[in-house]
Amino acid sequence: MKLNKIILVLTAFIALTACEQLVQIDLPQGAQTIAVDAEISTDLRPWKVFITNTQAYYNQDTVAGVEDAIVVISDDDGNVDTLEHVENGEYRTINSRQCVPGRTYTLDIQHNNTLFSASELCRFQYDIDTFLSFFIPETNGFIQKGYYVFEVANEYEPDGDYYLWKIYRNDTMLDGFGLILDEDQNREVSFFNLNIDPNDIEKSIREDSISPRPFPFNFKLGDTVEIEQFCINKKYYEFLIELQNQQNRSGTPFDPPPANPKSNISNGAFGYFSVVNIKRASTIILE
């Protein structure tokens, strides 16, 4: 239950008289710099880096790409790739590339005599052992009756790993909960399904130990469900959480002071350079 919802209702009787209006505020303006949107992964594909200029808040023009930067991605094994500008701030490698777990990757952007730089480790992760569907026959309060999926995977390192999941139903990424972040504190990816015995799901249901997070979706028979499990760094996890928080704020006195999500890029650039290890699994919902 989001606190914001509580506030909404608590103030609802007041809100009968409350009103919103568009205001034009003479905002202070920060210095212009660049924003970077770059994610490289263990998938084999051309690496892409988007570099754009920051804009004044009220500037409603479409985003302006930075076209004259020198963009290099290197790793600690001595590999160096220079990315080429394609259009409107998009830079890419000519050939497909994939990250190797255990290596640290560095992005260097030279622009207007400033070097913007970020490094990230590509983390190890095991394959997903089990990805199965199961049926919850009765709505139990926490969850509606229906078909759900769960996964089991082992954790490579004893601590410090953070995950992000994307879930697809018949090749369509699910909205709303499509991106799920979870801090894995229990040393096992299947944290929320810890008590599920893949060999006897029915027993788990009988014992009421199923809580099908992190995939709280109700599927239909015949659906093909695919998950992408991104093993990410703690800093990136915190960046995404803060980004989500910022987008959820409504400016009331009950909000904490706003702050910029902490980028890993040096010299005051915004955005993030992430290096992720992706594992996939899929299943078809059957009776």
Partner 1 sequence: MRNICLSLFLTIFCFSAFAQQYSISGRVKNIEDGEDLIGAIVKLESGGGAYTNQYGFYSITVSKGQHKVTYSYFGYQDQTLEFNVTKDTVINIELVPEADEIEAVTVSAEKEDSKVENKEISVVKMEMKDIKEIPVIFGEVDVLKTITLLPGIQSGGEGSTGINVRGGGQDQNLIILDEATVYNASHLLGFFSVFNGDAIKGLEVYKGGIPAKYGGRLASLIDIRMKDGNSKQFAGAGGVGTISSRLTLEGPIIKDKSSFMIAGRRSYADLFLPFAPDETVQQSTLYFYDLNLKSNYKISDNDRLYLSGYFGRDVFGLGNLFGLAWGNATATLRWNHIFNQKLFANFSLVYSDFDYGFSIDFDENTNIAFDQNITDYYGKADFIYYANTKSTFTYGGQLIYHDFNPGTFTALEDVQQLDKRKAFESAIYIDHNYEIDARFNIRYGLRYSAFANMGGTLYEYVKDENGQPISDLTQETEYDNAQISNYFGGLEPRASVSYNLNTLTALKSTYNRTIQYIQQASNTASAFPTDQWFSSNNNVKPQIADQVALGLFKNFKKNFETSVEVYYKWMQNQIDYREGANLFFNDQLDGELLFGKGWSYGAEFFINKTSGTTTGFISYTWSKSMRQVDGINFNDPYPTNFDRRHNLSVVVSQKLGTRFVLSGTFVYNSGNPFSPPVGKYFYQDGWNNIYGSRNNYRIPDYHRMDLGLTLKPKESEKRFKSSWNLSVYNVYNRENPYAIYFPEANAEQAEKFGVKEGDTIAVQVALFKIIPSLTWNFEF
- Contact residues toward partner 1 (CB under 8 A) are 1, 3, 5-25, 27-30, 32, 35, 37, 50, 52, 54-58, 60, 63, 139-142, 208, 238, 241-243, 245-247, 249-262, 270-272
Least distance between partner 1 and beta carbon 135 (Å):
18
Burial of 255 (0-12, 13-18, 19+ CB in 10 A): middle
Cβ atoms of 162 and 155 within 8 Å: the answer is no
Least distance between partner 1 and beta carbon 95 (Å):
25
Q: For partner 1, which is the closer residue by CB, 66 or 73?
A: 66
Q: For partner 1, which is the closer residue by CB, 138 or 171?
A: 138
Least distance between partner 1 and beta carbon 6 (Å):
7
Long-range contacts of 97-102 (CB under 8 A, 24+ apart): 97/40, 97/44, 97/45, 97/46, 97/47, 97/73, 98/41, 98/42, 98/43, 98/44, 98/45, 99/40, 99/41, 99/42, 99/75, 99/275, 99/276, 99/277, 100/42, 100/75, 101/42, 101/125, 101/277
Least distance between partner 1 and beta carbon 155 (Å):
19
Tokens 């930075």: give the residue.
Answer: 66
Least distance between partner 1 and beta carbon 224 (Å):
25
Cβ atoms of 251 and 191 within 8 Å: the answer is no
Cβ atoms of 212 and 155 within 8 Å: the answer is no
Least distance between partner 1 and beta carbon 266 (Å):
16
Q: For partner 1, which is the closer residue by CB, 82 or 144?
A: 144
